[in-house]
């Protein structure tokens, strides 16, 4: 399983290293690789891969392309997994992380991109594991891709309010257009325009 491969060069090195030596190579890609903005919903495994907004996603797509080609041309035993926003007790599902929660506790405003109504899904790490573990060592997963996400749909405002409630604070939400965030902070903006805004 490769959780931290982010470039085609990295994946090509893995293909060269594990060719003929592994029964299965699991690549952790990203749901942000799917067509952005999506032409139709819901997004499923057959949704085209295309993200012109975020280099991270384009690199994941390039990694997947290498693995698909290696599987088709030589039977390289690749399985591709596309998680979406996965969280655990250490990862707060809001930009700003624990700082955003600290601001809520202090009664300070927190930024939510756009108008707060774009839809999102959050997956707890234990729920992700329930979908992920059965893929391991299963011969029918070779050469295939799977996305593992929750089926809950929330708006970003709902997420911010739920987090505020969890820390016993009000949610003083300030909406800022994703494009404005991107012009002030290109890295944060790329993740919004290339993923969270859609």
Distances (CA, A) of 140 to 54, 151, 159: 31, 24, 36
Could you tell me if residue 184 is inside a domain?
yes
Interstrand relation of 25-28 and 78-83 (parallel, antiparallel or unpaired): parallel
Residue 53 lies in a domain: yes
* Cis, bond preceding 15 (omega within 30 deg of 0): no
- CATH number for the domain harbouring residue 16: 3.40.50.720
Flag whether 52 is in a domain.
yes
In a domain, 157, yes or no: yes
Residue at 126 is within a domain: yes
Q: What is the dihedral of CA 163, 168, 173, 178, to 10 degrees?
A: -20
Q: How far apart are CA 42 and CA 56, in angstroms?
A: 22
The domain in which residue 67 lies consists of 8-196
Tell me how far CA of residue 44 lies from CA of 38, 84, 97, 186, in angstroms.
11, 12, 28, 28
Residue 4 is predicted with a pLDDT of: 92
Q: What is the pLDDT of residues 94-114, one digit of tens each?
A: 888 899 999 999 999 999 999
Residue 1 placed within a domain:
no
Count the domains in the chain: 1
- Two structure tokens written together for 153: 């749909």
Q: Residue holding tokens 């293909």?
A: 15
Q: Is 2 among the domain residues?
A: no
Instruction: Report percent pLDDT > 90 for the chain.
Output: 88
Flag whether pLDDT at 42 surpasses 90: no
pLDDT in tens, 121-153: 999 999 999 999 999 999 999 999 999 999 899
Secondary structure class of 177 (helix, strand, coil): coil
How much is the pTM?
Answer: 0.91
In a domain, residue 64? The reply is yes
Can you tell me whether residue 74 is helix, strand or coil?
Answer: helix
């Amino acid at each position: 399983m490769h959780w931290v491969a982010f470039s085609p060069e990295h994946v090509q090195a893995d293909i060269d290293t594990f060719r003929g030596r592994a029964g299965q190579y699991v690549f952790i890609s990203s749901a942000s690789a799917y067509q952005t903005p999506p032409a139709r919903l819901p997004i499923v495994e057959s949704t085209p891969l295309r993200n012109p907004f975020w280099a991270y996603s384009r690199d994941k797509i390039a990694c997947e392309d290498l693995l698909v080609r290696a599987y088709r041309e030589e039977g390289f035993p690749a399985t591709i997994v596309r998680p979406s926003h996965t969280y655990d007790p250490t990862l707060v599902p809001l930009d700003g992380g624990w700082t955003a929660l600290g601001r809520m506790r202090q009664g300070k405003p927190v930024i939510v991109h756009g108008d707060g109504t774009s839809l999102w899904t959050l997956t707890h790490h234990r729920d992700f594991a329930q979908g992920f573990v059965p893929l391991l060592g299963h011969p029918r997963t070779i050469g295939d891709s799977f996305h593992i996400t929750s089926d809950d749909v929330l708006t970003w405002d709902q997420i911010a309010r739920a987090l505020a409630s969890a820390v016993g604070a009000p949610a003083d939400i300030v909406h800022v257009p994703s494009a404005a965030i991107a012009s002030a902070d290109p890295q944060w903006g790329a993740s919004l325009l290339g993923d969270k805004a859609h």
